[in-house]
Structure 1
Amino acid sequence: MSRRAAIATGHELTTEAAELILREGGNAFDAVLGAYFAACVAEPVLSALMGGGFLMAHPQQGKPRLYDFFAQTPRSKEVQGELDFRPVLVDFGSVQQEFHIGLGSVAAPGCMPGVTAIHCDLCSMPLREIVQPAIDAARSGVRINPLQAYLFQIIAPIFLDTAAARAIYASHAESSTIIQADEVLRLPELADTLELLGHEGSDLLIRGEIARLAAEQCRSTGGYLDYDDFTGYEVKLRSPLELDYRSARIWTNPPPCSGGLLMAFGLDLLQQQVASTGWGDRQALLTLAAVLRGTASARIESRISDEAPRVDPQKLLSPVLLQHYREELSDVVKSFAGTTHFSVIDSKGNAAAMTVSNGEGCGSIVPGTGIMLNNMLGEEDLNPCGFHTWPTGQRMSSMMSPTLIQMADGCCCAIGSGGSNRIRTTLLQVIRNLVDYPLSLKEVVRAPRLHLDEDILFIEGGFDPDALQVLCQYYPQHRLFEGRNLFFGGAHCVRSGPAGVEAFGDPRRGGSARVM
């Protein structure tokens, strides 16, 4: 069967943008950038022009490479006047979480430098054509689907924090509430910005007028960033963290990001266990939960979160540390963050896995542009040593781990997920399902998941009741979810092989997919 193309994203409009670009002759990298721009319109809680992210790229001719364009700490801690950094309480229903917003929470954004590097190195279409589907959507409007409405409801205090944000994201019916499901979100200022970007290039947001506007807004209103933070940002082209899991070769995000490294540690532990246990049975569940606990403990023991900018992979993957947790695992077995992902494989064999984030947004809009700035300096997950303790001018760490997999049978998979600190556990379980069990891509992604955090085991609905009962006895501190939940990430996956292609977008996070 001839090779075809496959796309998986977190929104139908995002998928449509990538599909249109492929149909017009673009490659996987054109399509993944088109998906990103469309997500800034259709998934504004999760994606924005001044956020950060990563692309794992595998050109048909060449080796996998990782483009790191994640957020960077400011070059100076000096602030003019009072720091604009304040807490907001976000309501997830059963639990509340405190985030910090304001212009003092904005880190140096990397998305536009990332677009520049990716477009220069890998793309085949003019930028104005890549961005056009997003422009059209921003002008005509996007009808808010139930998932986006739910996300807006969660972060309403942030997206209603300033008059400029309220003018864009408030409900048409009641200006004091956030936009609701089935309302149409129109973004004329963002459309104008995207149109300018298409004609003038992404330098507009790096050294041009919009970069100057954003820098002036931050410096004059309690933020850390200045113009040099925008102009001095450099994309890092990194060699992926490469590992084998059973018969599969995996490429994922290397340090200074910790997500790929922790996933590699967990897969190494799993690799020592027999793969023949049935999916979701008692043995498989106990093994998986023990691996999650071992990985969390090893993260603390290796102090990986305290030394993120200088992480040595050998520290976590040392034979001594691995053997300790293998033995512990053997004993056990016997006894919302704002992130979205796009996966694309084209008919030529190019593969792209791109994950982006704007944090939750800082609440402030760059005047006249429709762009909400990020709040990466206000995310506890990204600041494990405490707020305002960051070293200046350094890349921030992240759990985002866009990943490529080469299977023994010739299949190539591109995967990634949103979900903050659940990303590593989501991807570990998806990779295990892909490699260890004869499942379709739909079954791989839809399978229920576990996550362990601070000794509490979070359990998604759908596991075998008998196996679940045993698991809960081993982990008395647990929380059960009735069904599938976005808490457990959103793994958007594509797979290409001798028999053709598959694509599946995770329904937990609005998944949309297309095979061409």
Structure 2
Amino acid sequence: MTGAIAAGHPLTAEAGQRMFALGGNAFDAALAALCAASVVEPVLTSLGGGGFLLARATGRAPILYDFFVQTPRRRRATDDVDFRPVIADFGTAQQEFHIGSGAIATPGTVRGLLHCQRALGSLPLREIVAPAVEYARAGVEVNALQAYIFSIVEPIYRATPAAESIYGGAALAGQGSLFRQPELAETLAWIGDEGDAPFYDGEIAARLVTLSAEAGGHLTRDDLAAYRVIARTPLEHRYHGWRVATNPPPSSGGTLINYALSMLDGQALHGLEFGSIEHLHTLAHVMTHTNVARGDGLLARTEQHRRLMEAYRAAVRGHPLNTRGTTHISSIDAHGNAASLTLSNGEGSGCILPGTGVMLNNMLGEEDLNPHGFNRWPCDVRVSSMMAPTLAEDDRCLIAIGSGGSNRLRTAIVQTLSNLIDFGMSPDEAVNAPRIHFERGQLDVEPGFDDAAIDSLTARYPENRLWNSHNLFFGGTHTVCWDGRTFSGAGDPRRGGVFLAPRRTADR
């Protein structure tokens, strides 16, 4: 079978293309890419984290598979918890994160991998994990983006002796160093042979429970044994003739994307010039209203908007929000199967699952998850997320899209979709076009817009930041399109993106 994939690293995309070469479908490709990303994009994702897969099998309605992290069933006494702050240095700013075994939520990635492979895949699990096993054993050269990300979170990846032993050498040595992960290779091979049972009911689960008990964590065997993937009906919206499906509540990103698209519905953007004064003011206005509506709904201008935001707030109530680091994978095959997959490990907890090479998540350290103070998160609930894997389709074309980028991913997806649908851009043009982002009173603007348009926009939004170059701050909308005959797409260069497609494609 032929197919195309877009992802955040050349080897992540290559792993997916290898599945197509073996006759696999879009879901095999996405899951192989998931495994590869845990090796070659180690800060952005891990087998110790979680994610979401939006899947559209040919002739069937899309389904959202939620395998994001779950809060533990019980909270340990605060005085017994290993939970500590660490400062990440972004160069121009610093940010405090929280790590330690007390920051680890129940991971879902491995169970999600197995669940989705059984439900959607066509290749044996050993084939799906094989590229990742190879990369981890042979080693991967640290590229410029990964070196930069490692430099930001270096204190986390040196926080424990186990983390130091894995990452303290080649991974943190900088661009061009060869990073080998032999323990992770064996773990991936073990998954290929035995599935997810060792992680949730067997030997690896026992190691995690022991780590948690001895090192100040919350997780117990009950948390792991009870973890399940949740299949959800996607949130759908009609936008200018396109059917757009995305991540539903309790996650929030998809609802905010739908809200923004519903506001753009009434705008004749196709009659405007991209980057014009009118276009940029429209985007900024929509972002402003979406942010306010998310908070209190006072500016939800129509009954439709009010109902949408009321449903959103009701669905996410009691589900703490995670907004941290992410990576994304999009794939479509020549039969019309489509996968949009977004993954996260937070920044990592600094804790390694013993004997596996797996960095565990730090999702319980998310500030939005602890609005009343740390270690006060609600027990045994699926954590909400801003992640929003998305599919869009009309009678002529199918699009798989998503993004990393914390809170910025939703505005990145909206702008890229609008570029494709309203301005008729190619995927490469749509992904590479400059973006804006408005949040918490500040407007961020990438270079590439006309000076007059920027002057008009910044006069309206005096709290602003004009960037000198395109930046991963603005997300990474890795995108694949399929028109029934030809694949097109783009990996977003802001986040190391790569797009791979066959030179010749068959009819759908």
Q: What TM-score range do you get, normalising by the shorter chain?
A: over 0.9
Aligned to 2:209: 215
8 A Cα contact 1:425 1:451, kept in partner: yes
Shifted more, 27-36 versus 383-392: the winner is 383-392
The letter for the 2-side match of 1:379 is E
Aligned to 2:8: 10
Determine the C-alpha separation between the residues in 1 that align with 2:83 and 2:32.
Answer: 33
- Please give the residue correspondences for 1:413-492 in structure 2 after superposition, counting only pairs within 5 Å: 413-492=399-478
Aligned to 1:82: 80
8 A Cα contact 1:216 1:227, kept in partner: no
The letter for the 2-side match of 1:293 is T
Determine the C-alpha separation between the residues in 2 that align with 1:124 and 1:412.
Answer: 21
8 A Cα contact 1:171 1:180, kept in partner: no
Q: 1:214 to 1:126 in 2, by over 3 A?
A: same
Deviations 1:434-487 (A, max 9, x none): 110021100100111111121011111211111001101000000111010000
Determine the C-alpha separation between the residues in 2 that align with 1:141 and 1:158.
Answer: 21
Which blocks of at least 5 consecutive residues in structure 2 are unaligned?
A: 310-322, 503-508
Query: 1:288 pairs with 279, 283, 292, which one?
Result: 283
Query: 2:328 pairs with 334, 338, 341, which one?
Result: 341
Q: How many residues align?
A: 486
Q: CA RMSD in A?
A: 1.9
8 A Cα contact 2:297 2:306, kept in partner: no
8 A Cα contact 1:51 1:110, kept in partner: yes
Deviations 1:82-136 (A, max 9, x none): 2111111111111111110000000111111211210111111111110000000
The letter for the 2-side match of 1:264 is N
Q: Secondary structure at the residue paired with 1:452?
A: strand
Q: 1:505 to 1:185 in 2, by over 3 A?
A: same
Aligned to 1:201: 195
The letter for the 2-side match of 1:254 is P
Percent of pairs with identical residues: 49
- Please give the residue correspondences for 1:76-475 in structure 2 after superposition, counting only pairs within 5 Å: 76-79=74-77, 82-172=80-170, 178-275=172-269, 276-302=271-297, 318-319=305-306, 337-384=324-371, 386-408=373-395, 410-475=396-461
Query: 1:179: how far off?
Result: 2.8
The letter for the 2-side match of 1:214 is L
Which blocks of at least 5 consecutive residues in structure 1 are unaligned?
A: 304-312, 323-335
Determine the C-alpha separation between the residues in 2 that align with 1:96 and 1:510.
Answer: 23
Determine the C-alpha separation between the residues in 1 that align with 2:328 and 2:463.
Answer: 31
8 A Cα contact 2:262 2:305, kept in partner: no
Query: 1:316: how far off?
Result: 9.6
Stretches of 4+ moved more than 3 A in 1? 315-322, 381-386
8 A Cα contact 1:105 1:378, kept in partner: yes
8 A Cα contact 2:78 2:375, kept in partner: no
8 A Cα contact 2:259 2:305, kept in partner: no
In the superposition, the TM-score normalised over structure 2's length comes to 0.93
Query: 1:407: how far off?
Result: 2.6
Deviations 1:347-396 (A, max 9, x none): 21100000000000000111111001000011224445543222110001
Determine the C-alpha separation between the residues in 1 that align with 2:473 and 2:460.
Answer: 22
In the superposition, the TM-score normalised over structure 1's length comes to 0.91
Determine the C-alpha separation between the residues in 2 that align with 1:65 and 1:268.
Answer: 22
Q: 1:382 to 1:402 in 2, by over 3 A?
A: farther
Aligned to 1:306: none
Determine the C-alpha separation between the residues in 2 that align with 1:115 and 1:377.
Answer: 22
Q: Secondary structure at the residue paired with 1:98?
A: strand
Determine the C-alpha separation between the residues in 2 that align with 1:153 and 1:502.
Answer: 34
Q: 1:449 to 1:385 in 2, by over 3 A?
A: farther
8 A Cα contact 2:87 2:97, kept in partner: yes
Q: Secondary structure at the residue paired with 2:136?
A: helix
